[in-house]
């Protein structure tokens, strides 16, 4: 009769535990990277939401005058600067003007300060020259 032993040797157990440990290490590293990516995506989405809100507020401003500017900081720390510039010189006696609205965003990121510029163009009516400034109009909306 041949006698056989059942079970694992110590070397087999050590090899199995090492392989299992390497697998868990790779799994946890992947989960950690996914969590960092989700956090970064959340910051991008919040910045986009703040930017859309600012541009929507700008739609409510009664009059935009070339040469005006305004700046501020979003809740997430993103700095913004809005500048109104003439795009096409208005014709004499014209009641309308084509302007360029430039919104510049600056924020701190892992790679240093990041910058994004958004430009839009608007046809505006030239109204009252004694109207409140862009800053005053934006603050009145808040």
**pLDDT tens digits along 7-28:** 888 998 999 999 999 999 999 9
Residue at 62 is within a domain: yes
What residues make up the domain containing 131? 10-141
pLDDT digits (tens, 9 = 90+) for 20-74: 999 999 999 889 889 888 988 999 999 999 999 999 998 888 788 888 999 999 9
Q: Tell me what percent of the chain is helix, strand and coil, each rounded to the nearest 5.
A: 40, 30, 30
Q: What is the pLDDT of residue 40?
A: 87
Residue at 110 is within a domain: yes
Residue at 3 is within a domain: no
CB 122 within 8 A of CB 101: yes
Residue at 5 is within a domain: no
Total domains in the chain come to: 1
Q: What is the pLDDT of residue 22?
A: 94
Residue at 4 is within a domain: no
Q: What is the pLDDT of residue 139?
A: 77
């Amino acid at each position: 009769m041949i006698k056989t032993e059942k079970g694992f040797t110590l070397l087999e157990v050590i090899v199995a535990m090492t392989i299992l440990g390497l697998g868990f290490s790779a799994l946890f590293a992947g989960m950690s990277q996914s969590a960092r990516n989700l956090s970064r995506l959340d910051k991008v989405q919040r910045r986009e939401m703040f930017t859309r809100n600012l541009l929507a507020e700008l739609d409510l401003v009664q009059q935009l005058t070339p040469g005006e500017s305004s700046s501020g900081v979003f809740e997430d720390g993103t700095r913004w600067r809005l500048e109104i510039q003439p795009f096409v010189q208005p014709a004499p006696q014209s009641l309308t003007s084509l302007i360029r609205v430039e919104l510049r965003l600056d924020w701190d990121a892992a790679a240093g300060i990041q910058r994004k510029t958004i430009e839009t163009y608007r046809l505006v009516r030239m109204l009252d020259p004694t109207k409140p400034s862009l800053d005053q109009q934006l603050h009145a909306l808040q």
